[in-house]
Chain A
Amino acid sequence: MHHAEDCGTTPRMGAKETGGTDKHALFAQWALPHKDHIYSACLYLARNKDEAEDLFQETYLRAFRFFHQFQPGTNCRAWLLTIMHNVFKNRYPHVQRAARTLEFEDAEREYERKLLADGEAGRDDPASLLLTQMIDREVTDALQSLPEEYRSTLLLVDIEELSYEEAARVLACPIGTVRSRLSRARRLLQVALSSYAQDHGYGRGEHREEAARAKTGTRL
Chain B
Amino acid sequence: MTCARYRDLIAAHVDGLLSPADQQEVTQHLKTCAACAQLFAQESRFHTAFAARQFIVSVPTEVERRLQSALAVEQTQSPSWWERFFSLFPQPRLALGFAAAGLVVVFLLSQLFFSAPEQDVFAQALDSYQAVTEGRTPLDYRTEEPAQLQAAFNNSGQIDFLTQVSDLRPAGYQLKGGRLGRLMNHPTAIAVYEGRDDRLMCIRQAGTLPSMPPDMKNVRNHYIYTRNGCTIMYSQFRRHFCLFISRLPQEVFLRRMGIEHEEKE
Residues of A with Cβ closer than 8 Å to B?
1, 23-24, 27, 35-37, 39-40, 43-44, 53, 56-57, 60-62, 64-66, 69, 82, 86, 89-90, 112, 115-116, 119, 125, 127-128, 131-132, 139, 157-159, 164, 169, 172, 179-180, 182-187, 189-190, 219-220
A119 to B34, CA, bound (A): 10
Taking Cβ atoms with an 8 Å cutoff, the residues of B that contact A are 7-12, 14-17, 35, 38-39, 42-43, 45-53, 55-59, 63-64, 66-67, 70-71, 74-75, 77-79, 83, 87, 90-94
**The residue from B11, B38, B91 contacting A186, defined by CB atoms under 8 A apart:** B11
- What's the Cα separation between A179 and B18 when bound, in Å? 9
Number of A-B contacts (CB under 8 A): 135
- Residue pair B47, A164 in contact (C-beta under 8 Å): no
B8, B10, B71, B90 pick with most chain A CB within 10 angstroms:
B71
Whose C-beta in chain B lies nearest to the C-beta of A37? Answer: B56
Task: Across the interface, name the chain A residue whose C-beta is closest to B89.
Answer: A86
The docked-state distance in angstroms from the alpha carbon of A190 to that of B45 is: 11
Asked if A183 contacts B7 (CB within 8 A), the reply is yes
Partner of A39, one of B43, B51, B63: B63
A174 to chain B, nearest CB (A): 13
Q: Interface centre among A40, A65, A189, by most B CB within 10 Å?
A: A65
Expressed in whole angstroms, the Cα–Cα distance for A189 and B50 within the complex equals 10
B49 CB contacts on chain A under 8 angstroms: 127-128, 131-132
Complex CA–CA separation, A86 to B49 (angstroms): 30
For the complex formed, measure the closest distance between the CB of B133 and the CB atoms of chain A, giving whole angstroms: 61
List 25 interface pairs A-B (beta carbons < 8 Å), by A numbering.
Answer: A1-B15, A24-B71, A35-B59, A43-B57, A53-B66, A57-B63, A60-B67, A61-B74, A65-B77, A89-B93, A90-B92, A115-B39, A119-B38, A119-B42, A125-B45, A128-B42, A158-B47, A159-B55, A172-B94, A179-B17, A183-B7, A183-B11, A183-B12, A184-B8, A186-B47
> Across the two chains, which residue of chain B brings its CB closest to A115?
B42
A39: which B residues are within 8 A, CB to CB?
A: 57-59, 63
B residues near A186, Cβ cutoff 8 Å: 10-11, 43, 46-47, 50
Q: Which 3 A-B pairs have the closest CB atoms?
A: A180-B8, A182-B11, A183-B11
Whether B17 contacts A164 by the Cβ 8 Å rule is yes
CB distance from B236 to the nearest CB of A (A): 49
- Cβ of B58 and Cβ of A36 under 8 Å apart? yes
Neighbouring A residues of B91 by C-beta, 8 Å: 86, 89, 172
> Hey, which chain A residues are within 8 Å of B46, CB to CB?
125, 127-128, 131, 186, 190
- CB contacts (< 8 Å) of A64 on chain B: these are 71, 74-75
Residue of B nearest to A185 (CB): B11
How many angstroms between the C-alpha atoms of A1 and B63 in the bound complex?
30
Interface centre among B11, B52, B92 (most CB of A within 10 A): B11
List of B residues within 8 angstroms of A119 by Cβ: 38, 42
Rounded to whole angstroms, the CA-CA distance of A116 and B41 in the bound complex is 11
**Contact in complex: B50, A131 (CB < 8 Å):** yes
Bound-complex Cα distance A89 to B15 (A): 28
Q: Are the C-beta atoms of A65 and B7 separated by less than 8 Å?
A: no
Please judge, given known A-B contacts A89-B92, A128-B49, whether A56 and B67 are in contact too, CB under 8 Å.
yes
Instruction: Assess A158 versus B38: contact at CB under 8 Å? Given A69-B87, A172-B91.
Output: no
The answer to whether B87 touches A36, judged by C-beta atoms less than 8 angstroms apart, is: no
